[in-house]
Amino acid sequence: MVVRRDRKVRRQRGSRLYGWGQVGQHRKSGTRGGFGNAGLHKHKWSWTVKYGKDHFGKYGFVRPLAVSKPVRSINVGSLATLVQDKILEKDEKGRAVLDLGSLGYDKLLGSGKIDFSVVVKINHASEIAKKKITEAGGEVIVAG
């Protein structure tokens, strides 16, 4: 086989630029056009139209923080102090009636023990809290 000596590199020895135009056109990052996503709205717009169609714009929904308000909850074990502190009305069976909604509470949780019967009015209550109060002879009235 015959050795070919007319490759481009062989022919352009001594030309300094090897077919890359003026000095610097194939050096460093002069033709890059910026780093990263630079120029996608300017000189790289045709690339954006062809390959990056979904790059710009907003997707999805982020709930504003101001919409969610904190839930003020109370445990079953803390009801005894409320019954002692507040002057309560009684129902026909003689049980104390606690309206937790008017006291500023949103939810009744089941942590703690209760050993007296009480009627509790609340917007939300957990299943464990309902069970503990009914086992003690009380009642939970869920308004919400």
Q: What domains can you pick out in the chain, each with its CATH number?
A: 1-60 (4.10.990.10), 73-142 (3.100.10.10)
| Predicted local confidence at residue 15, as pLDDT | 87
| Predicted local confidence at residue 144, as pLDDT | 66
Per-residue pLDDT band at 87 (split at 50, 70, 90): low
Mean pLDDT of 85-108: 86
The span from the CA of 86 to the CA of 142, in Å, is: 21
The answer to whether the beta carbons of residues 110 and 131 sit under 8 Å apart is yes
Per-residue pLDDT band at 84 (split at 50, 70, 90): confident
**Cβ contacts of residue 26 below 8 Å, gap of 6+?**
17, 18, 20
pTM of the shown model: 0.53
Question: Using one digit for the tens of pLDDT, what is the confidence trace for 34-76?
Answer: 999 999 999 999 999 999 999 999 889 888 877 778 889 999 9
Q: Chain-wide mean pLDDT for the chain?
A: 88
